[in-house]
Homo-oligomer: A and B are copies of this chain.
Protein backbone atom coordinates (compact mmCIF):
# COMPACT_ATOMS: atom_id res chain seq x y z
CA UNK A 1 0.00 0.00 0.00
CA UNK A 2 2.24 2.74 -1.26
CA UNK A 3 -0.12 5.68 -1.42
CA UNK A 4 -2.22 6.34 1.60
CA UNK A 5 -6.00 6.68 1.57
CA UNK A 6 -6.95 10.34 1.77
CA UNK A 7 -9.38 10.90 4.63
CA UNK A 8 -11.42 13.84 5.84
CA UNK A 9 -12.42 14.75 9.38
CA UNK A 10 -15.92 16.03 10.02
CA UNK A 11 -15.99 17.80 13.38
CA UNK A 12 -12.25 18.40 13.27
CA UNK A 13 -12.00 21.01 16.02
CA UNK A 14 -13.80 19.04 18.76
CA UNK A 15 -12.15 16.81 21.34
CA UNK A 16 -12.59 13.65 19.25
CA UNK A 17 -11.61 15.52 16.11
CA UNK A 18 -8.35 16.46 17.80
CA UNK A 19 -7.77 12.84 18.73
CA UNK A 20 -8.28 11.76 15.10
CA UNK A 21 -5.59 14.22 14.12
CA UNK A 22 -3.24 13.12 16.86
CA UNK A 23 -3.73 9.41 16.20
CA UNK A 24 -3.58 9.65 12.40
CA UNK A 25 -0.25 11.46 12.36
CA UNK A 26 2.08 8.87 10.85
CA UNK A 27 -0.73 6.37 10.26
CA UNK A 28 0.55 3.90 7.66
CA UNK A 29 -2.70 3.69 5.68
CA UNK A 30 -4.53 6.99 6.09
CA UNK A 31 -3.62 10.61 5.46
CA UNK A 32 -5.75 13.58 6.45
CA UNK A 33 -6.45 15.79 3.44
CA UNK A 34 -9.59 17.60 4.51
CA UNK A 35 -10.80 19.12 7.77
CA UNK A 36 -14.33 20.35 8.25
CA UNK A 37 -16.02 22.06 11.17
CA UNK A 38 -18.85 24.46 11.87
CA UNK A 39 -19.31 27.65 9.88
CA UNK A 40 -17.59 29.56 12.68
CA UNK A 41 -14.34 27.74 11.95
CA UNK A 42 -14.49 27.26 8.21
CA UNK A 43 -12.21 29.49 6.21
CA UNK A 44 -9.68 29.75 9.04
CA UNK A 45 -6.50 27.74 9.34
CA UNK A 46 -6.88 24.79 11.69
CA UNK A 47 -4.29 26.37 13.98
CA UNK A 48 -6.53 29.42 14.36
CA UNK A 49 -9.81 27.55 14.53
CA UNK A 50 -9.04 24.85 17.10
CA UNK A 51 -8.30 25.21 20.79
CA UNK A 52 -5.94 22.27 21.03
CA UNK A 53 -6.36 20.38 24.34
CA UNK A 54 -4.06 17.37 23.86
CA UNK A 55 -0.69 16.87 25.45
CA UNK A 56 1.24 16.44 22.23
CA UNK A 57 1.76 19.41 19.91
CA UNK A 58 -0.66 20.07 17.06
CA UNK A 59 1.05 18.68 13.93
CA UNK A 60 2.45 21.60 11.93
CA UNK A 61 1.06 20.37 8.61
CA UNK A 62 -2.41 20.24 10.13
CA UNK A 63 -2.10 23.65 11.77
CA UNK A 64 -1.63 25.20 8.33
CA UNK A 65 -4.52 23.39 6.64
CA UNK A 66 -7.65 25.43 5.96
CA UNK A 67 -10.87 24.32 7.60
CA UNK A 68 -13.45 23.54 4.91
CA UNK A 69 -17.19 23.96 5.12
CA UNK A 70 -18.96 20.76 6.14
CA UNK A 71 -20.17 19.96 2.62
CA UNK A 72 -19.44 16.76 0.70
CA UNK A 73 -18.40 18.54 -2.51
CA UNK A 74 -14.79 19.02 -1.50
CA UNK A 75 -14.51 16.01 0.79
CA UNK A 76 -12.46 12.90 0.08
CA UNK A 77 -14.26 9.58 -0.21
CA UNK A 78 -13.44 8.50 3.35
CA UNK A 79 -14.74 10.69 6.12
CA UNK A 80 -14.26 10.19 9.88
CA UNK A 81 -17.10 11.93 11.66
CA UNK A 82 -17.66 13.03 15.23
CA UNK A 83 -20.35 15.67 15.51
CA UNK A 84 -23.40 16.23 17.70
CA UNK A 85 -26.21 13.78 17.05
CA UNK A 86 -28.58 16.44 15.74
CA UNK A 87 -26.03 17.62 13.20
CA UNK A 88 -24.97 14.10 12.28
CA UNK A 89 -28.56 13.14 11.63
CA UNK A 90 -28.73 15.68 8.87
CA UNK A 91 -25.19 15.70 7.59
CA UNK A 92 -23.96 12.13 7.50
CA UNK A 93 -26.60 10.96 4.97
CA UNK A 94 -25.57 13.83 2.68
CA UNK A 95 -22.00 12.58 2.68
CA UNK A 96 -23.09 8.98 2.19
CA UNK A 97 -25.35 10.00 -0.69
CA UNK A 98 -22.38 11.78 -2.25
CA UNK A 99 -20.47 8.51 -2.25
CA UNK A 100 -18.47 8.87 0.94
CA UNK A 101 -17.73 6.10 3.38
CA UNK A 102 -18.81 7.88 6.56
CA UNK A 103 -17.09 6.15 9.46
CA UNK A 104 -18.70 7.78 12.41
CA UNK A 105 -18.38 8.20 16.14
CA UNK A 106 -21.66 10.13 16.27
CA UNK A 107 -24.64 8.56 17.97
CA UNK A 108 -27.30 9.50 15.40
CA UNK A 109 -27.46 6.26 13.39
CA UNK A 110 -26.00 3.69 15.77
CA UNK A 111 -29.33 2.02 16.38
CA UNK A 112 -30.65 2.31 12.79
CA UNK A 113 -31.46 -1.20 11.51
CA UNK A 114 -29.35 -0.93 8.36
CA UNK A 115 -26.37 0.81 9.95
CA UNK A 116 -23.62 -1.38 11.39
CA UNK A 117 -22.62 -0.56 14.96
CA UNK A 118 -19.23 -2.22 15.15
CA UNK A 119 -16.26 -3.04 17.34
CA UNK A 120 -13.99 -5.04 15.02
CA UNK A 121 -12.97 -7.52 17.72
CA UNK A 122 -16.61 -8.11 18.62
CA UNK A 123 -18.87 -8.07 15.59
CA UNK A 124 -17.00 -7.27 12.38
CA UNK A 125 -19.52 -9.40 10.51
CA UNK A 126 -22.16 -6.75 11.17
CA UNK A 127 -20.35 -4.57 8.63
CA UNK A 128 -22.24 -6.49 6.00
CA UNK A 129 -25.21 -4.25 6.82
CA UNK A 130 -23.74 -1.46 4.70
CA UNK A 131 -24.94 -3.38 1.66
CA UNK A 132 -28.47 -2.76 2.94
CA UNK A 133 -28.05 1.00 2.79
CA UNK A 134 -29.68 2.82 -0.13
CA UNK A 135 -26.65 5.08 -0.71
CA UNK A 136 -24.39 2.10 -1.16
CA UNK A 137 -26.21 1.04 -4.27
CA UNK A 138 -26.52 4.51 -5.71
CA UNK A 139 -23.22 6.17 -5.03
CA UNK A 140 -21.14 3.57 -3.24
CA UNK A 141 -21.36 5.62 -0.02
CA UNK A 142 -22.40 4.28 3.37
CA UNK A 143 -22.39 4.90 7.12
CA UNK A 144 -20.60 2.75 9.70
CA UNK A 145 -20.69 3.63 13.39
CA UNK A 146 -18.81 2.78 16.55
CA UNK A 147 -20.45 2.72 19.99
CA UNK A 148 -20.57 5.24 22.77
CA UNK A 149 -17.34 5.61 24.79
CA UNK A 150 -18.75 3.86 27.85
CA UNK A 151 -20.21 0.97 25.85
CA UNK A 152 -17.02 -0.07 24.08
CA UNK A 153 -15.04 -1.11 27.15
CA UNK A 154 -18.00 -2.98 28.54
CA UNK A 155 -18.73 -4.92 25.38
CA UNK A 156 -15.08 -5.82 24.77
CA UNK A 157 -14.84 -7.27 28.27
CA UNK A 158 -18.15 -9.13 27.91
CA UNK A 159 -17.73 -10.57 24.42
CA UNK A 160 -15.15 -13.26 25.33
CA UNK A 161 -17.40 -14.37 28.19
CA UNK A 162 -20.61 -14.19 26.19
CA UNK A 163 -19.29 -16.28 23.31
CA UNK A 164 -18.07 -19.04 25.60
CA UNK A 165 -20.60 -19.10 28.42
CA UNK A 166 -23.53 -16.91 27.46
CA UNK A 167 -24.68 -13.89 29.48
CA UNK A 168 -28.18 -13.34 30.81
CA UNK A 169 -27.87 -10.26 32.97
CA UNK A 170 -25.51 -7.28 33.02
CA UNK A 171 -25.22 -4.73 35.76
CA UNK A 172 -22.83 -1.81 35.21
CA UNK A 173 -21.95 1.39 37.08
CA UNK A 174 -19.63 3.79 35.28
CA UNK A 175 -17.25 6.45 36.56
CA UNK A 176 -16.57 8.49 33.44
CA UNK A 177 -13.84 10.98 32.59
CA UNK A 178 -14.62 14.58 31.71
CA UNK A 179 -13.05 14.39 28.26
CA UNK A 180 -16.05 12.31 27.22
CA UNK A 181 -18.18 15.44 27.39
CA UNK A 182 -16.06 17.37 24.90
CA UNK A 183 -14.79 20.91 25.31
CA UNK A 184 -15.73 23.04 27.20
CA UNK A 185 -18.04 20.23 28.34
CA UNK A 186 -18.20 19.77 32.09
CA UNK A 187 -17.80 23.00 34.09
CA UNK A 188 -15.03 22.87 36.65
CA UNK A 189 -17.49 24.07 39.32
CA UNK A 190 -19.44 20.87 38.68
CA UNK A 191 -16.62 18.40 39.02
CA UNK A 192 -13.88 19.63 41.38
CA UNK A 193 -14.37 17.84 44.71
CA UNK A 194 -17.51 16.30 43.24
CA UNK A 195 -19.26 13.51 41.37
CA UNK A 196 -22.21 14.09 39.01
CA UNK A 197 -24.45 11.01 39.03
CA UNK A 198 -26.07 11.73 35.68
CA UNK A 199 -25.01 11.94 32.04
CA UNK A 200 -27.80 12.75 29.59
CA UNK A 201 -28.98 9.69 27.57
CA UNK A 202 -25.87 7.74 28.53
CA UNK A 203 -27.61 4.95 30.39
CA UNK A 204 -30.10 4.43 27.57
CA UNK A 205 -27.27 4.33 25.01
CA UNK A 206 -25.25 1.79 26.99
CA UNK A 207 -28.23 -0.46 27.53
CA UNK A 208 -29.32 -0.46 23.89
CA UNK A 209 -25.92 -0.50 22.18
CA UNK A 210 -24.59 -3.33 24.30
CA UNK A 211 -27.34 -5.67 23.13
CA UNK A 212 -26.98 -4.72 19.46
CA UNK A 213 -23.20 -5.21 19.57
CA UNK A 214 -23.51 -8.61 21.21
CA UNK A 215 -26.37 -9.53 18.88
CA UNK A 216 -26.30 -11.71 15.78
CA UNK A 217 -26.68 -10.83 12.15
CA UNK A 218 -29.81 -12.53 10.92
CA UNK A 219 -30.44 -11.94 7.25
CA UNK A 220 -30.33 -8.20 6.72
CA UNK A 221 -30.61 -7.06 10.30
CA UNK A 222 -29.21 -7.64 13.77
CA UNK A 223 -31.06 -9.60 16.41
CA UNK A 224 -29.96 -8.11 19.71
CA UNK A 225 -28.63 -10.33 22.46
CA UNK A 226 -31.44 -11.60 24.63
CA UNK A 227 -30.25 -10.33 28.02
CA UNK A 228 -31.07 -7.70 30.60
CA UNK A 229 -28.77 -4.68 31.02
CA UNK A 230 -28.98 -1.91 33.56
CA UNK A 231 -26.55 1.00 33.75
CA UNK A 232 -25.78 3.70 36.31
CA UNK A 233 -23.62 6.43 34.72
CA UNK A 234 -21.55 8.95 36.66
CA UNK A 235 -19.08 11.72 35.86
CA UNK A 236 -15.95 11.86 38.05
CA UNK A 237 -12.95 14.22 38.25
CA UNK A 238 -10.71 12.25 35.88
CA UNK A 239 -9.30 13.64 32.63
CA UNK A 240 -9.27 10.47 30.51
CA UNK A 241 -10.36 6.88 31.14
CA UNK A 242 -13.73 5.39 32.01
CA UNK A 243 -13.85 2.95 34.95
CA UNK A 244 -16.77 0.51 35.13
CA UNK A 245 -17.95 -1.84 37.89
CA UNK A 246 -19.71 -4.82 36.34
CA UNK A 247 -21.72 -7.77 37.65
CA UNK A 248 -22.95 -10.49 35.31
CA UNK A 249 -25.06 -13.60 35.31
CA UNK A 250 -23.88 -16.26 32.88
CA UNK A 251 -26.03 -18.32 30.54
CA UNK A 252 -28.29 -20.80 32.27
CA UNK A 253 -27.87 -24.07 30.48
CA UNK A 254 -24.14 -24.50 30.41
CA UNK A 255 -24.10 -27.87 32.04
CA UNK A 256 -20.93 -27.14 33.96
CA UNK A 257 -19.78 -24.55 36.46
CA UNK A 258 -17.70 -21.75 35.07
CA UNK A 259 -14.62 -21.06 37.18
CA UNK A 260 -12.57 -17.93 37.68
CA UNK A 261 -9.88 -19.56 35.56
CA UNK A 262 -12.36 -20.15 32.75
CA UNK A 263 -13.16 -16.46 32.59
CA UNK A 264 -9.52 -15.41 32.82
CA UNK A 265 -8.76 -17.79 29.97
CA UNK A 266 -11.61 -16.40 27.88
CA UNK A 267 -10.15 -12.92 28.23
CA UNK A 268 -6.55 -14.02 27.67
CA UNK A 269 -7.37 -15.99 24.54
CA UNK A 270 -9.63 -13.38 22.99
CA UNK A 271 -7.88 -12.00 19.93
CA UNK A 272 -10.02 -12.29 16.82
CA UNK A 273 -8.02 -9.73 14.84
CA UNK A 274 -4.70 -11.51 15.35
CA UNK A 275 -2.91 -11.88 12.06
CA UNK A 276 -4.89 -9.25 10.15
CA UNK A 277 -2.16 -6.66 10.55
CA UNK A 278 -4.49 -3.82 11.44
CA UNK A 279 -2.23 -1.04 12.73
CA UNK A 280 -4.52 0.04 15.58
CA UNK A 281 -5.51 -3.43 16.78
CA UNK A 282 -3.98 -3.97 20.23
CA UNK A 283 -1.89 -7.09 20.75
CA UNK A 284 -4.03 -8.01 23.75
CA UNK A 285 -7.52 -6.52 23.38
CA UNK A 286 -8.63 -7.39 26.93
CA UNK A 287 -5.72 -7.35 29.36
CA UNK A 288 -5.95 -8.75 32.87
CA UNK A 289 -4.32 -7.02 35.84
CA UNK A 290 -3.63 -9.13 38.90
CA UNK A 291 -3.19 -6.21 41.32
CA UNK A 292 -6.20 -5.99 43.59
CA UNK A 293 -6.57 -2.21 43.31
CA UNK A 294 -6.38 -2.04 39.52
CA UNK A 295 -7.34 -1.08 36.85
CA UNK A 296 -7.06 2.65 37.54
CA UNK A 297 -7.56 5.33 34.90
CA UNK A 298 -4.32 7.26 35.47
CA UNK A 299 -2.20 4.12 35.41
CA UNK A 300 -3.93 1.88 32.87
CA UNK A 301 -5.64 4.09 30.28
CA UNK A 302 -2.69 4.06 27.90
CA UNK A 303 -2.47 0.29 27.80
CA UNK A 304 -2.02 -0.95 24.22
CA UNK A 305 -1.59 2.66 23.09
CA UNK A 306 -4.99 3.37 24.57
CA UNK A 307 -6.69 0.68 22.45
CA UNK A 308 -6.76 -2.15 25.01
CA UNK A 309 -9.33 -2.66 27.74
CA UNK A 310 -7.98 -3.58 31.18
CA UNK A 311 -9.95 -5.85 33.48
CA UNK A 312 -9.33 -6.68 37.13
CA UNK A 313 -10.83 -7.70 40.46
CA UNK A 314 -12.75 -10.70 39.10
CA UNK A 315 -14.61 -12.17 42.08
CA UNK A 316 -17.95 -13.85 42.85
CA UNK A 317 -21.02 -11.63 43.11
CA UNK A 318 -23.57 -12.28 45.87
CA UNK A 319 -26.43 -11.39 43.55
CA UNK A 320 -25.37 -12.42 40.06
CA UNK A 321 -22.47 -14.77 39.26
CA UNK A 322 -19.34 -12.68 38.85
CA UNK A 323 -18.22 -9.13 39.35
CA UNK A 324 -15.20 -7.26 38.02
CA UNK A 325 -13.81 -3.81 37.12
CA UNK A 326 -12.86 -2.62 33.66
CA UNK A 327 -11.17 0.44 32.27
CA UNK A 328 -10.78 1.87 28.81
CA UNK A 329 -9.50 5.11 27.33
CA UNK A 330 -12.63 6.96 26.39
CA UNK A 331 -11.30 9.23 23.65
CA UNK A 332 -8.92 6.66 22.15
CA UNK A 333 -10.52 3.20 22.34
CA UNK A 334 -13.86 4.78 23.14
CA UNK A 335 -14.00 7.25 20.27
CA UNK A 336 -11.31 8.28 17.78
CA UNK A 337 -9.36 5.03 17.92
CA UNK A 338 -12.59 3.07 17.53
CA UNK A 339 -13.41 4.89 14.30
CA UNK A 340 -9.91 4.36 12.97
CA UNK A 341 -9.97 0.66 13.76
CA UNK A 342 -13.33 0.39 12.03
CA UNK A 343 -11.77 2.04 8.98
CA UNK A 344 -8.83 -0.36 9.10
CA UNK A 345 -11.24 -3.27 9.26
CA UNK A 346 -13.08 -1.90 6.24
CA UNK A 347 -9.79 -1.65 4.35
CA UNK A 348 -9.04 -5.23 5.29
CA UNK A 349 -12.45 -6.26 3.93
CA UNK A 350 -11.97 -4.31 0.71
CA UNK A 351 -14.77 -1.90 1.49
CA UNK A 352 -12.66 1.24 1.25
CA UNK A 353 -11.52 0.81 -2.34
CA UNK A 354 -12.19 3.77 -4.59
CA UNK A 355 -15.87 4.29 -5.11
CA UNK A 356 -15.78 3.54 -8.83
CA UNK A 357 -14.32 0.12 -8.16
CA UNK A 358 -16.90 -0.52 -5.47
CA UNK A 359 -19.73 0.50 -7.75
CA UNK A 360 -18.36 -1.54 -10.65
CA UNK A 361 -18.12 -4.60 -8.47
CA UNK A 362 -21.65 -4.20 -7.23
Residues of A that sit less than 8 Å from B by CB? 15, 52-57, 169-171, 173, 175, 178-179, 183-198, 207, 228-230, 232, 234, 236-239, 243, 245, 247, 292-303, 312-313, 317-320, 323, 325
Contact = CB atoms under 8 A, between A and B. Distances in A.
A63 to B, nearest CB: 12
B197 A293 contact: yes
Contact of A247 (B54, B171, B245, B300): B171
Nearest to A299: B55
A230 B317 contact: yes
21 contacts: A55-B299, A56-B302, A171-B319, A173-B232, A178-B188, A188-B191, A192-B193, A192-B239, A193-B237, A194-B238, A194-B296, A195-B236, A195-B238, A195-B243, A197-B295, A197-B325, A229-B319, A230-B320, A230-B323, A234-B245, A237-B238
A234 B243 contact: yes
Among A57, A193, A237, max chain B CB count under 10 A is at A193
A312 B197 contact: yes
Copies of this polypeptide in the complex: 4
Among A54, A57, A319, A320, max chain B CB count under 10 A is at A319
A188 B293 contact: no
A197 B296 CA distance: 7
Given A189-B185, A192-B178, A292-B198, A55 B301 contact: yes
A298 B187 contact: no
B229 A297 contact: no
B236 A237 contact: yes
B195 A318 contact: no
Contacts of A178: 188-189, 192
Given A175-B234, A188-B191, A237-B238, 13 more contacts: A171-B319, A178-B188, A178-B189, A188-B188, A192-B239, A193-B238, A193-B297, A195-B236, A196-B296, A197-B243, A197-B296, A207-B318, A230-B247
Contact of A173 (B173, B187, B239, B319): B173
A298 B228 CA distance: 33
Among A57, A171, A194, max chain B CB count under 10 A is at A194
A323 B171 CA distance: 11
A187 B185 contact: yes
